[in-house]
Each structure stands twice: as C-alpha cells, then as structure tokens.
Structure 1
Amino acid sequence: MIFDYRKFLFCFIINYSFINGTTEVLRPRGVPLTKKSFYDPGKDFQCLDGSATIPFLLVNDDYCDCDDGSDEPGTSACSNGVFHCSNIGFVEKIIPSSRVNDGICDCCDASDEYNSSIKCENNCLELGEQMRIERERYLELMKQGNEIRQTYIATAKQKIDETKQELETLKSQMNEVESVKNEKFEAKNQVEELEKEALEKHRAKEEELRKQKEEEEMKIREIEETKQASDVFIKLDTDSDGIITLDELKSYQGFDRDNDGSVSDDEAKFFSNGLEQLVLPTFIESSWPMVKPIIDNEPQNEVEQQQASEYQTDDTNPETTMNEDESLDHEEESDDIEHESESPSIPAESTVSTSVTLEYDESTQKLVDDAKKARDEYNQAEAQYQDIQTKIRELEVVLETDFGPNGEYMALKGSCFELDENEYVYKLCPFDSASQRSKTGGTETNLGRWGKWIGSEQNHYERFIMEGGTQCWNGPARSVIVHISCGDDNQLIRASEPNRCEYSFEFKSPAACVFNQSILESTDNVHEHSEL
C-alpha cells in the first residue's frame, strides 16, 4: 500500500468543527467558503494571482510561495496574506495574516489563535444573540419610523398635488393680470402724453411770468442802486458843487487800500477809474463799481464821521455854530447814509432765480388728476403681477427641490431644530439654513444655506450639505454636512467642527426609516445556520 503524504498532511491543514449542531464545510484553515473551490487537495495549487503552481501539500506550510500570499491563508508566513474567520453564529471576518497566532484574539471563534500561547474562547453564539437582539430593536425602530415616514409621504404627495394645482391657477391669473397691467400701461402712457403737453404749456406760462417778475425786480434794483450811488456821491462831494475831485476822494479813509494812514493819488485815481473829477453820471458808470464794495463793507463809513465832525457845534467859536434847521438836515442825511451803509449789497444783475408758482387751470388740473389715477392703477396692477410672479417662483422652487425619493423629507421644510452643545446653541432648518449662537448671547453666525444631497451611491439621501455661510477670518466660508439616520422623532443629536469652519451635524428623522426587503436581508447577514 502506497502511503499518500498529501492526504496525511491534508488531515492537519483541513479545518473542521461541530459547534452546537452546526457544521463548517471542510477546507484549509483561513479559506472563506467562496474560495473553497480553488483549494482542491487532489490537485496542485495554483496561486490565485497566477504567479506560480505548487504541490498542494505546500499550502499552509508556514512558507510563502505565492506573490499574493494565497498559499498561506491559515498562517502568518505571508505579509500580504489574509485570514478568514468563519465566526459561525456571528459575522464572518477577514483579518491580515500577520495577526494569526499573535497572542491577540481577533476572531470570536478563536480560529486565528490555533497555535498560540493564549487560549481564546469561542463566544460567537453570545455575540450573535446580542446582535440579534439589537437587530430586532433596530427593525422595530425602522418599522415605527417607517409608519411615520408613510404619513410624511402621503402628506407630501397631497401637498405637491396642491402646489401644482395652485401653480396652474396662479399662472392662469398671471396671464389675466398681465393683460390688465398692459392695458393700464397703455392708458397711463396716453394720459401722461396729454399731461406732459399741458404741463409744458403751464411751465411756459410760469417761465414767462417769472421773466416778467425778474425784469420788474431788476428795474427796482437798478433804481435802488442808482439812488444808493447818488447818495454816496452827495456824501463824497463834500463841497456840494456836483463834482467829486481827487482831493475829495483822498479825504475818505476807506479808500486807503494799503492801510498806511492816508489815501494816495494813485489810490484816489483807482476809485475814480483814472478820472481827475467825476460828475454823477460818470461816477455811477465808471467809479461806483469800485466804490460800492468799500461803502458796503464799512462798519461806520468815514463820510458820516467827517461830516458829523464838521457840523459839531462849538459855543466858543461862532464860525462853527449851526442853526437848528441845518442840524436837522444833517441828522436826516446822516441817518440815510447809515441806513444805506448797513443795508446788504444789492447786485446790479440778479443771480438768484425768481420762483413763480402758477395754479393749474381747470383743464390742466383734470389732466394731472387723470394721469395720477392712471399711474396708481398701473402701479397697483404691476404690484399684483409681481406678487403673483413671486408666489409662482416660490411654488416652482418647492416642486424643483429634491425632498427624497417619495417626498418624505418635505415634512422637515419650514421646521427648525436646536441643540445645546458645549458653549453654543446650534440650529438646523432643513432646506433653508444652519446657524450657531453663543449661550452667553450675541448674534447668530450663519453656517450655511441649503445646498444639495451628497450621499453615497447606495443611499443618496443619507447626508446633505449647507454651504455659503459666514466667511471665517483668513479661512473658507462656513459649511455644514448633515448626516441623517433613522429615528422615531425629528431631532438634532450632535454637532461638531471636525475641521476649521467645516461643521458636522447628526440628525435623526422618521423620514430616513426605509423598511423593505433589502433591510431584512442586510440584517440577516450573520452565520446562524450551517455552511453545509
């Protein structure tokens, strides 16, 4: 009889067990059931990456022959190898081969420490029972949450139908209102044209009256100007001969331009405009423009002072005695000069526009009233049109928003949820905004506004992002990623800032409780049965 070493060695490398009535399929240690067919003891073993073919007795011989480590699934010989924990009664597990017989229990069935100094207990059944209880709780939560989710879906469907119906109604109303608005616009334009013509005629009349009034005022000012110039001429003509000489001009200290205490010939000639003597018409035409500013600006002009000094009475000198009539005449003349000196300067030509307001005649007033009424009616129609447009856009946004595969997340729109976390109060308003505020007071900081769903391929609705929040100092704009999971109530349960200005919220909602056959299958992914 020929001794078959392969069969003999296979007795040592084959892993088999009977646990609580369940049986594990015989195969090399560390090989998952899905790869059992690659490990046939009756054939040479081909490395799974095709790098080599070796005798089967070299499998699990604690020496790495294959580049991918597939010949040593049950030992730690290959650094890139993997070990499969069957974990019957619980969940199978894949660990790196380096953990095999390292003195640490990694597999609940103790299969990874078969040749170790440490003794590991097989507690897969206990862990499986614990997981079963947790699974039942989870499934119960999913069932309860799903019942609420179904009401969300029904409400969302009804609201979407109502929104569509309201949108159609508003669009129909908008066409009617737009037609009315266009009619009001045309009526407004027509009456405004008539109003414009009437107002132009009215303004032309006002302009004509204004010019007439200005001309009249100009004439009055010219008369007043001539009178003032004449009065000053009389005062400067100290000998009252009807002629002002250079000496008479020199006697007036106000003409001392260089303030040296006397009026020079050149200074006198400046105010006489180069003339040796001045009569009244020449004085008004040539000299008065230079003299007037001096006279107007004198707090107490020297003509009055000099004349008052000449007419003072002296009881000891008969030559200086004045009779009573002369004294009265001088006082009246002095009062006139003082009045003229203290009065404000009156320019020769008006630089201020004269305002003239002329009341509308009956026909113009009617056109103005009609135009105002037409504008009011148009503005009212325009406001109504804009209001309908705004409502239409709001409804369109609702219909365009992704509220989940069946609209279940629409139940969250319009609601806000708060959470006290450390020193802040966080607020989440789904499909709107997120913010934080200090518990000690102050304004809210905008963390972002509704962005979009950013879930995985398996669950597109497991998270969404709020973006475009308040800019951080020397940093990005704040943003929040909201992770949603199943819960029997809508609740913000956790908030954190894992990165600067990038926040993370955890939110539970019945809208995320999707209970179907796939959920049952995913929770049944445990080895509570035989592999046979």
Structure 2
Amino acid sequence: MHFQILFLTVLWCGFVDSRKIRGISSSYKRFYRERKSFLCIDGSKIIPFEQVNDDYCDCQDGSDEPGTSACPRGRFYCTNLGFRPHYIPSSRVNDGICDCCDASDEYNSHAHCQNTCWNLGQRERAYVEGQMRTLDEGLRLKQQLIEEGILLWREKQAQLRELQQAAEDLQIKLEEHRRRKHEADRLREQTLKALDAGDSGFRSQNSTVSSIFQLLDRNKDGSITVDEVQARVALVHDEERILSEDEAVALLGGYHQMDLTEFRHTLWDILTRGDSIKIKHSDGAPGRLLVEDSPLKAADRGDAASLFPLHTTSILSCSSCCKETGPAVEMETTNLKKAEEAYETVNMEMSDLQKKLATDYGTDWEFLFLNSQCYKLKVYEYTYTLCPFNQVTQKNTAGTEVSLGKWGMWAGTPKNQYSQMVYENGEPCWQGGSRSTTVRLTCGTETALRSVKEPSKCQYIMDFQTPVACQPVLKQRGIHSEL
C-alpha cells in the first residue's frame, strides 16, 4: 500500500514538473524552478508558482504560460530533437495543427501528430553538407579565378603600355605626314600660281600655231596640201630648191593634206625645231624669207625658242610639274588620313582600356573575368541579359529591347560590399522615373543568372550565382548545435 502511494506521488510530481516546464528552452529553465512563488520574467508581477501553465494568463509578457495558449503574447518552444528548435506563437498550442516536428505543441488536442524531426534533420544535414561541399568547391574555383584575374590584370596593364607607346609613335608619324602634306600643298599652290601667270603666254602660243597654219593654207580651205607645202616651205641648208612631192608628203605625215589639229602635232613640231625646214617669203620667191611678221621672223631664222616665248616654256614646265604635284598631294592626303584614323583608333582603345582598368573588380581582381561577359535568363515572355560592369536589358518576344539600368556601383553590406551590384538610369518607366536593377551575388560552383523578379514597378532584383561570391566566413557557421 505504501509502495503504491509512493509511486503515484512520484508520477504526479513528474507530471506536474513536465506540465510546468513545457514550452521552455533549456536556457530559460532556471526561471521555472519550482518554488513557492514565480516572478514574471519582465519583473512586473509575482504570482504563486501553482499558477504557472495553469491555462490562465497572469503575466503581461505571457511568461507564466509558456506551455499553453492562454497569453496572447506568449511563445511556445519546440525542442525538435534531431532537427532545428524554434519558437511558435502560443496561440498555436493545442489548435489541432502540428507545428512542432516533435508534436510537442499538440500534447492535449485531438490531432495525431508524428515525430518527423529525425527525417527533417537528415534532410537538413544533407542540405547543409551539400552547401558545405558547394562552398568548398566554390572557394577552390574562386582561387583559380583570382589567379586568372591577376594575370588578366597584368596583361591589360601591359596592353595599355603598348597602346601608349603605339600612340606616341603614331603621333610622330602623324606630325611627319602633316608636314609632308603641308609641303605638297605649298608646292601645288606655287605651281598653280605659275600656271595662272603663264596663261596669256599659252594663249599666245596657240595663236602662233594658228597663224602659221593660215599662212601655209593659201586657199583658206582649212587644210594644207602638198602644193601648199612646196610653195611655202624650204630646206634650211638649200633654200632655193623646191621640195619634191615625196618630201612634202613626208612632212604631211604621209598624207596629201592635213587640218589644223594634225598640223599642231606634226609639221608644227618640225618647224619649231628649225634645224631642217623653214617658211619661205610670202610670194614664194627663192631665197627671200618673210621678215615683217614676228612669228615668221622666228620661223625664218629657225629659232624655235623665239616661237615659244620664255613664259610659254615655263608653262610647259609648270604643266609637267602640276601633273607630278597632283598625285603627290593626293598620296600625302591619303597617308595623312590613314595616320589620323590609326591614331584615333589607338586612342579610343586606350581610353576604353583605361576605363576598364579604373573599375573596382574586387580586392584581388576576382570579378575581372566577368568583364565583357553576358548572361541570359528567359522568364515567361521576356529574356533578361546581365552584362556585368556594363548594363542590364530586357527583350520581349517581339524583339523590343529595354534598358533596365547601366553599371553604377557595388552596394553590398559593410562586411561584404561585393555581394550586391546596382545598375541605374535605365529607360524611363511609363509611370515616371528610370528603371533600375539590383543584382544579388550568391555562392555557387558555376556562373549563371538564376532568377529575376520585379517586386515594384520598374525596379528589378536579380540573383546571380558565381564562385567569386563565395566567402570563407560562411564555413564557420556550421550546423545548429541541436541537430
């Protein structure tokens, strides 16, 4: 009989104790040691200990009812052995819905809850282990990308130095081409002035050719015949002899007559040389030469130079010079243009490279490999493209592309400023303001655009996964101590 009473007493005490500490974490058990009175945790009130977990709220902070739903501000602690412990609002205690995986929140309800903590814990541990493996692999890849970034940085620095040297060399060549172009222009200008000055002499020469032709053309029919040549032309060393028909035909270029154009290019050239034939006196008498007309004086003396005044000779010389200086000017103009284009191209490349090198690619240039790369993701009818350090765009199925922002800055936390990118000043939104995109970087073993959301109008959020976002400090978090 005494044994039965003792057993019931122990059982009741255990029931009372378990009832009173239900819904309490191990760190709070010290406040619930059974004694005569209970002090509300906020210190606002002292109540008899029997009123703890009696399903009536006495403390304003709800600390006297941790295991019931009596207090609106109360919290119930799910121990969840084998999984993650957590708090739930006390209003969910015994509401017929299993909130704790160990079923401790439904200790006095009709719900038949099973303890699923062990299975959930296994999945959680597998997930965490997977994350740790991903982190390890990501950190390994990140180190490779850091090494590649450093090499790429050095290559770009060397490329910049080469471009700067090329720009200096091209500057020297450009100045030389400018000097040559200026000299060619100056020479051409002098030639043109000389041509302008000798234009009247050139017209005089044409007049002399025409006058001699008319002198030989006795019947004024616009052509010179064999008879007319025999009548007006004599040999320099045998003035009295009349030319034979064959000799006259030879002077006419093998023909029996010629017009002014043919005369200019045949018989005129022979007359101006004055070394074999000359013009006779107007009446054709042997031994008498024409002396009154100045062009004939020159022809009579056989003095070709006097038939061509000095300025006429200069004209011929300048004409030849002009033919030479024209292509020279064109060549120097072409060379100068090519040199200017090459110099401009090098300067543009140098400016672009300097701009790239001025960008913040991380403490170890780990993000440098993202430059000049683009990543796409299709979400419903839109295709989003992220080009790091450049821009973000959106294209619909019709092919219309809209800018969602241009590279602005890093905007991560003080502990990790490289965890977030901001792209600003995209195309205007129809409601006003410009589109902008925030890119959140997450750790992963590959670099890819994972998701795109538009939480507010024309404000976009992208999740971008890459190994260079992996941080060693993440490994220190570990798995919850109660798993």
TM over 0.5: yes
Say which of 428, 447, 452 aligns to 1:490. 447
Deviation per residue, 1:143-163 (Å, 9 max, x gap): 333332222111112112333
Q: Which residue, 406, 415, 432 being the options, matches 1:449?
A: 406
Of the candidates 351, 357, 362, which is equivalent to residue 399 of structure 1? 357
2:129 alignment partner AA? E
Q: Is 2:130 the counterpart of 1:137?
A: yes
* Code of the aligned partner of 1:137: G
Residues 18-57 of structure 1 correspond to what in structure 2 (within 5 A)? 28-42=21-35, 44-57=37-50
Which one of 411, 417, 425 corresponds to residue 383 of structure 2?
A: 425
- Is the 2:171–2:343 contact (alpha carbons within 8 Å) kept by the matching residues of 1? no
Matched, 1:472 2:465: no
Whether the 8 Å contact between 1:89 and 1:526 is mirrored in structure 2 is: no
The residue identity in structure 2 corresponding to 1:467 is E
Q: Which one scores higher on RCO, CA 8 angstroms, separation ≥ 6?
A: 1
> What's the counterpart of residue 105 of structure 2?
112
State the 1:57 CA deviation.
3.9
Question: Are 1:153 and 2:108 matched, yes or no?
Answer: no
* C-alpha distance 162-15 of structure 1, shift in aligned 2 (>3 A): farther
Amino acid at match of 1:419: L
Give 2:368's aligned amino acid: M
Q: How does 1:297-376 map to 2 (within 5 A)?
A: none
State how many pairs are aligned: 356
Which residue matches 1:354? none
- Change beyond 3 A, Cα 1:506–1:53: same
Cα 1:171–1:70 change in 2 (3 A) is farther
**One of 76, 80, 83 as aligned partner of 2:73:** 80
Q: 1:166 to 1:96 in 2, by over 3 A?
A: same
Q: What is the rounded CA distance, in whole Å, between the counterparts of 1:44 and 1:383 in structure 2? A: 93
Q: Secondary structure in 2 aligned to 1:79?
A: coil
Unaligned runs of 5+ in 1: 1-6, 17-26, 207-359, 363-367
Partner of 1:213: none
User: 1:522 is matched with which residue: 473, 477, 480?
Assistant: 477
For residues 408 and 54 of structure 1, do their structure 2 counterparts lie closer, same or farther at Cα, with a shift above 3 Å needed? farther
Deviations 1:118-164 (A, max 9, x none): 23222111110121222233333333333322221111121123334
Decide whether the 8 Å contact of 1:180 with 1:381 is kept in 2.
no
In structure 2, C-alpha distance between the alignment counterparts of 1:43 and 1:387, rounded to whole Å: 91
TM-score by length of 1: 0.54
Partner of 2:460: 503
Letter in 1 for 2:120: L
Cα deviation, 1:158-207, whole Å, max 9, x if unaligned, reads 11233344445656776x569959x959x989x99xx99x99xx99xx9x
Structure 2 gap segments, 5+ residues each = 1-9, 197-317, 321-325
Q: CA deviation at 1:108?
A: 0.7
SS, match of residue 451 in structure 1? strand
Whole-angstrom distance in 1 between the partners of 2:48 and 2:102: 29
Corresponding residue of 2:226: none
The letter for the 1-side match of 2:445 is D
Correspondence for 2:393:
435
Amino acid at match of 1:525: H
Q: Distance in 1 between matches of 2:447 and 2:372?
A: 13
Alignment match, 1:69: 62
Go from structure 1 to structure 2 and tell me whether the alpha carbon gap of 1:415 and 1:64 turns closer, same or farther (over 3 Å shift): same
RMSD: 4.7
Please name the residue that 2:119 is paired with.
Answer: 126
What is the rounded CA distance, in whole Å, between the counterparts of 1:46 and 1:372 in structure 2? 104
* SS of the residue 2:477 aligns to: helix
